[in-house]
Each structure stands twice: as structure tokens, then as C-alpha cells.
Amino acid sequence: MVRIKNRYIVVRIVPQADAKILNFHDGVLAKCVLRNVKKYFGDYGLGIVEHGFRVKYCNERTKVAIIRCLHRSHRTLTATLPLITMIGDVRAKFHTLYTGATIIQCNKFIINHQQKFLNEMVGQIVSAKERNDFIKRVMEFDLEQ
């Protein structure tokens, strides 16, 4: 029996307009990525990437997402991500932060990344209640979608 190997790609979405919260979800993100894979690599590239492709995690506040793909197609996918300029109706770019073999390693990376983000952002918040609410919202990490 052959084991199916996955790769998990952690990306940060950088909108061109200053927006605190982007209104998108994993479905919009998946359609955008697959549309651009087809645009740049054709039907063959779409066929390779589409099998095993899924957006596992998407945080609108920190603008971080985890994308799962098969091992054989991760190079095609990572070559397409920097070329994407529109996500839904928002002009934005993808920055690849990390590529890992397990989702556990990606979780560890995201927690460290979010901790750095918190350290930067908490210093700007004046109220203690707002600070606690902000920390609670950012550290939400739910993979059950």
C-alpha cells in the first residue's frame, strides 16, 4: 500500500488597500487559487493540483492561511501563488511563509508567527479589555471547517 504524502503551505495574504479584516473564507480562496493555476498551467496543471487540494485554515484577522496539496503538485502551486493579484474582489498578494510536511509543524509555525504579530499589535491597544479580546480573537485556531 502506498502512503499519500501531502504538503502544507502557510501563506500570508497582503491586501493592497489597508483593511483591518478581509471578508473572505476558504471557498473564495480555493476558487481563486484553482482559477489561477488553470490560467498559468492549463488543464494539466489544474488536474494535478486539484486532486488533494484544500484550504485547511484561514484567519481573516491575521491574514494567514494553510493550503494542503499533494506532494507531487506543491511546486506547481507554490509557483502560482506569487502570481495571484486578486482574491475575490480584493486586490491582494500571497506571501509564502512556510512549507511543511505535516500540519502539526505548520501549526507550530503559525503559533510562533501569531505570537510575533500579537507582540506588535498589543502595544498599540490602550484598553486592557480590548487587549484581552484581541488576543482571544487572534489565537483562535480551529481546523475543523
For residue 62, tell me if it sits in a domain.
yes
64-68, 100-104, 131-135: least confidently modelled range: 131-135
| Confidence at 2, pLDDT banded by 50, 70, 90 | confident
CATH number at residue 129: 3.30.70.3250
Residue 86 lies in a domain: yes
State if pTM tops 0.85.
Answer: no
pLDDT of residue 77: 94
Q: Over the stretch 43-91, which tens digit does the pLDDT of each residue have?
A: 999 999 999 999 998 888 778 899 999 999 999 999 999 999 988 888 8
Q: What is the DSSP string of 37-101?
A: HHHHHHHHHHHHHHTT-EEEEEETTTTEEEEEEEGGGHHHHHHHGGG--EETTEEEEEEEEEEES
For residue 1, give Cα distances in angstroms to 4, 88.
10, 40
Confidence at residue 10, expressed as pLDDT on a 0 to 100 scale:
95
In this structure, which amino acid lies at residue 5?
K
Task: Give yes or no for residue 145 having a pLDDT over 70.
Answer: no
The DSSP secondary structure of 106-142, one letter per residue, reads HHHHHHHHHHHHHHHHHTT---HHHHHHHHHHHT---
Residue 69 belongs to what domain range? 6-138
What pLDDT score does 20 carry?
59
19: three-class secondary structure by DSSP:
coil
Cell numbers found for residue 122:
498589543
Q: Is the pLDDT score of 142 beyond 60?
A: no
Q: How many domains does the chain have?
A: 1
64 is a domain residue = yes
Of the candidates 50, 99, 39, 40, the residue with the CA atom closest to the CA atom of residue 73: 50
Q: Is residue 110 part of a domain?
A: yes
